[in-house]
Structure 1
């Protein structure tokens, strides 16, 4: 159950990143560009949780998991 909750929080954080990035980039860029950049930022966060060959990816994931374990049931 805990792993599913962690995945749900990962999706929510990615959605918050996408939403806030879309708004902020929308202030200085055309809407299509802002949406593309926001999607890129959200994907970078979400897929960084499952790093592909990054030597420090596991270390970052451990820190994020420790935060989740501290605040989530």
Structure 2
């Protein structure tokens, strides 16, 4: 059985591994920034749809579709 040469941190931190980690970090940072910009819009949409479902439920409290819609929106 051949002797396996162990990799050191110096081997892994040079070359392609460091560049790949930098690309991954940049991609994750960009994704987080995009989501951070969209959160107010998502919250506004969710609140609006929940209010609409609540109003429909107030108009007809016995409607099973209105009850289901209000629960889903909440």
Smaller-chain TM-score range?
0.3 to 0.5
- With a CA cutoff of 8 Å and minimum separation of 6, indicate the structure with the bigger relative contact order: 1
- Give TM-score, length-normalised by structure 2: 0.40
Structure of greater Rg = 2
- Give TM-score, length-normalised by structure 1: 0.40
